[in-house]
Amino acid sequence: MTGRGTFAGDRFRADVLQVAFLRSPHAHALIERLDQSAALSAPGVTAIFTATDLVGLPIPAVRFAGVPAGASVLNLAAGELLASGKVVCVGQPVAATVARNAALARDAADLIAVDYKPLPAVIDVRDAMRSSAAVVHDGLATNVAFRFTIGAQDAEDFFAEADSVVRVQATSPRLAAIPLEPRTIVAEYDPSNDGLIVSLSTQVPHGVRQALSQMLGIPDANIAVKVGDVGGGFGAKAFAYAEEAVVAYLAWRLRASVGWTETRSENLQSMIQGRGQQSEIELGVTRHGAITGLRIATVIDMGSFVQPFAAGPANNAAMLGPGPYQIPKVCVSVTGVYTNKVPTAPYRGSGRPEAAYSLERAVSAAAQAIGMDPAELHRRNFIPADAFPYRTVTGMTYDSGNYAAAFEKALEIVDYEGWRRKQRAAPRKPRSIGIGIASFVEFSGPQLLEHAEVRVSGDGKVVMLSGASAHGQGHETTFAQVIADEFGVAMDAVDVLEGDTTAIPTGIGTFGSRSAALAGSAGLMAARHVKDILLHAAADLLEARTEDVELRNARFTVVGVPGPGLTFAEVAAAAVRGSGGRQAGKETWTGARETFESPGLTFPFGTHVAVVEVDSESGGVEILDYVAVDDCGNMINPLLVDGQVVGGIVQGLGQALMEEVIYDDSVQLLTGSLMDYAIPRAAHVPRLKLAHTVTPSPLNPLGAKGVGEAGATASPAAIFNAVLDAVAPLGVTELDMPLTAPKIWMAIQQARGR
């Protein structure tokens, strides 16, 4: 906002050649002829690359798809860098033009003549599974990419113990991630090692380095990835895209600096999308409100390829099936299906919102079926606080929790009983009040380890280098706090450096709400190690035993000995001298590198309550009240935690009320601009009441759990349940997201028989 950030787009110098991609206008078609002669002679053009220019590169493989072991079907198809022979979705890159500037590159791309032979395309996952459907990938017999089941054995008498079994459907529509900063990359040829220096907008610098190395056959030691400020990622920048690999390859082949920044339309068309899950849920409950079983059948729309981690959202949703409840039997079956659409992959929440929506929708329906207040049904089924660590029937081990405490706090703050009274007293026409509850548990900290280094230089300056890579989460603040606390120095004395694979040789990155618990703990361990070095140096200077020296408020003193002691900088200088000091440029420092490995995932949780008013004459929804009680263990920076919760809630509000990627019958994207794809604006966001309970995680020294996805996990379910609660007395029983005014209005008209 002050213009002082350095984004990948700020790395375009005048000599950087620019790339434009020619993209498929068809959802499914054979490429019969491609003529680039006119484009090659266009002004300012340096080169044009098509799939034939990439022959000899390693064939892309599906890198970690996230399908659990034991899948009954496994047909994973990786995307191509540039389409060869056939295109399988609108927007798939077919050719890349390189020119003096972006406009000339675009003009040249428009001069490439391609003859396509359109083929029948599949849009709907259920149609795609029919034997008569067109098959997206020639080598495969069907469109089923994978199939797996998690939890209990399915059986005829699955619901034998239930007095009532409710059946609901829950669709989480495809969503666009909409980072403020579109995908951007500048790749420079590095003659010193025949390698590349790559600046790009990503969440995973080390992952990109590895992927580029694999895709381009360049040793990863010869690729340096540098990430500056990033204008949001939301999961959609957590792997290397084909376009990014092509730009890097062009720089390497042309021995030049080559860059690309996508337009907003390209971003909407070809960045991965989130969600796209359809679930049928059955929940069995006794008349006294004990949940006896949960069966879910989910179909996830994979789009045209399997991107890295692409099965993650479906797998996560299945594993989190039972949520915060003690449910004796849970069976979740998942089918991943190809369609001729842009691929789906993890997007903020990555299965957590889908799980919470499915379960909380079914719990609400079950409460109605047995005539019990939904709050009471929640209360009767929570995993009790003394049951942790708790192993779910789906195989997850929840580290710690007190679900009832967060729930009761949320109900108290929102004044649940008060709203129920208002709801009963208020006339239902034309506006009716609805109250929705979403209790949830999610997981944070996947891949379980992260690296950090802490350096103290001779003048007392402290730097933490982290393998995480923030893109809006504020690690510069929170990690500085962790280190400053350990040393007793001011936060301003600590710099945090991320996103540079040259300075930080190993790292995993930022996704899965993993950074506080894993990178924060790695930083703390490294700081403790450095503190030991400093205490030894101080003991030498003070002629005391190390165990008698203490570090407080940035001063080293001997316990029980009055006097000013030594400053942090004095001891740092001695420690650097004593250790011989390591050098980079003018800086000399002493330091320690640590890897923190968590024994397991951490499980944040909470309860959100939404109160809405629905106008039956227009279908419009107004959020009257919204309370979020989140528990992410110990909070390092409560302000940033609240910022994360707010951002997540607003993304979930978008999902619940307005967002949906829409394709037409020929699988052309209709929501191709921000005129057509609705995202929430400030005026849509009610005053949010945020509160916390604190149940530390026993799995890391900070006692922290993640919070980056909590808001997005809970809010769609809370808002959905509130809207359905408002319109249920009008006879509406079925609705699905996004709850746009026309959709609600139509449902009310249908319920009235109109």
For the segment 343-382, give every residue that binds ligand MCN (CB under 6 A): 348
The verdict on 513 binding ligand MCN (CB under 6 A) reads yes
Which span sits near ligand MCN by CB under 6 A: 79-87, 150-158, 681-689, 707-715? 707-715
Which span sits near ligand MCN by CB under 6 A: 2-10, 379-387, 473-481, 738-746? 473-481
Among 351, 591, 647, 680, binds ligand MCN (CB under 6 A): 647
Which span sits near ligand MCN by CB under 6 A: 10-18, 187-195, 585-593, 637-645? 637-645
Burial track 95-120 (b if 16+ CB lie within 10 A, e otherwise): bbbbbbebebbbbbbebbebebeebe
Q: In this structure, what DSSP letter does residue 591 have?
A: E
Q: How far is the CB of 238 from ligand MCN (least distance, A)?
A: 8
For the segment 43-72, give every residue that binds ligand MCN (CB under 6 A): none
State the Cα–Cα distance between residues 80 and 89, nearest whole angstrom: 12
Residue closer to ligand MCN (CB basis): 91 or 351? 351
DSSP alpha helices (H): ranges in 504-637?
520-542, 568-578
Per-residue binding string, ligand MCN, 614-633, x by CB under 6 A, is ------------------xx
Q: How far is the CB of 707 from ligand MCN (least distance, A)?
A: 4
Residue closer to ligand MCN (CB basis): 188 or 450? 450
CB 299 within 8 A of CB 277: yes
Q: How far is the CB of 179 from ligand MCN (least distance, A)?
A: 6
Q: How far is the CB of 348 from ligand MCN (least distance, A)?
A: 4
The verdict on 473 binding ligand MCN (CB under 6 A) reads yes
Which span sits near ligand MCN by CB under 6 A: 182-190, 495-503, 504-512, 739-747? 504-512
Cis omega (within 30 of 0) on the bond before 738?
Answer: yes
Q: How far is the CB of 511 from ligand MCN (least distance, A)?
A: 5
Among 511, 589, 663, 677, binds ligand MCN (CB under 6 A): 511
Q: How far is the CB of 618 from ligand MCN (least distance, A)?
A: 33
Residue closer to ligand MCN (CB basis): 232 or 488? 232
Closest CA to 77 of 267, 348, 340: 340
State the Cα–Cα distance between residues 50 and 18, nearest whole angstrom: 16
Q: Which helix (H) or strand (E) holds 608?
A: strand 605-615
**Across-strand partners of 647?**
none
State the Cα–Cα distance between residues 313 and 279, nearest whole angstrom: 13
The verdict on 716 binding ligand MCN (CB under 6 A) reads no
State the Cα–Cα distance between residues 496 and 469, nearest whole angstrom: 11
Per-residue binding string, ligand MCN, 577-616, x by CB under 6 A, is ----------------------------------------
The verdict on 644 binding ligand MCN (CB under 6 A) reads yes
Residue closer to ligand MCN (CB basis): 185 or 702? 702
DSSP code string of 203-253: S-HHHHHHHHHHHHT--GGGEEEE--B-S--TTTTSS--HHHHHHHHHHHH
The verdict on 690 binding ligand MCN (CB under 6 A) reads no
Residue closer to ligand MCN (CB basis): 679 or 728? 679
State the Cα–Cα distance between residues 357 and 445, nearest whole angstrom: 22
Closest CA to 309 of 78, 43, 518, 651: 78
State the Cα–Cα distance between residues 326 and 739, nearest whole angstrom: 30
For the segment 312-341, give every residue that binds ligand MCN (CB under 6 A): none
Please, which residues have CB within 8 angstroms of residue 627's CB and are 6 or more apart in sequence?
A: 410, 413, 414, 608, 609, 688, 689, 690, 691
Q: In this structure, what DSSP letter does residue 727 have?
A: H
Which span sits near ligand MCN by CB under 6 A: 141-149, 414-422, 521-529, 698-706? 698-706
Residue closer to ligand MCN (CB basis): 60 or 308? 308
Among 275, 471, 531, 692, binds ligand MCN (CB under 6 A): 471
CB 598 within 8 A of CB 521: yes
Say how many residues touch ligand MCN, by CB under 6 A: 35
Q: Which helix (H) or strand (E) holds 482?
A: helix 475-487
Residue closer to ligand MCN (CB basis): 46 or 203? 203
β-strands 605-615, 223-226: how paired?
Answer: unpaired
Structure tokens that stand for 538 in this block: 């101080």
Q: What angle do CA 585, 586, 590 make, to 5 degrees?
A: 90
Please, which residues have CB within 8 angstroms of residue 473's CB and are 6 or more apart in sequence?
A: 510, 515, 640, 644, 708
Per-residue binding string, ligand MCN, 204-243, x by CB under 6 A, is ----------------------------xxxx--------
Closest CA to 274 of 310, 231, 238: 310
Q: How far is the CB of 704 from ligand MCN (least distance, A)?
A: 4
Q: How far is the CB of 307 from ligand MCN (least distance, A)?
A: 15
Among 592, 635, 657, 699, binds ligand MCN (CB under 6 A): 635
The verdict on 708 binding ligand MCN (CB under 6 A) reads yes
End-to-end CA, the chain: 50
For the segment 142-201, give every residue that binds ligand MCN (CB under 6 A): none
The residues binding ligand MCN (CB under 6 A) are: 232-235, 348, 471-475, 478, 510-516, 520, 632-637, 640-641, 644, 647, 704-709
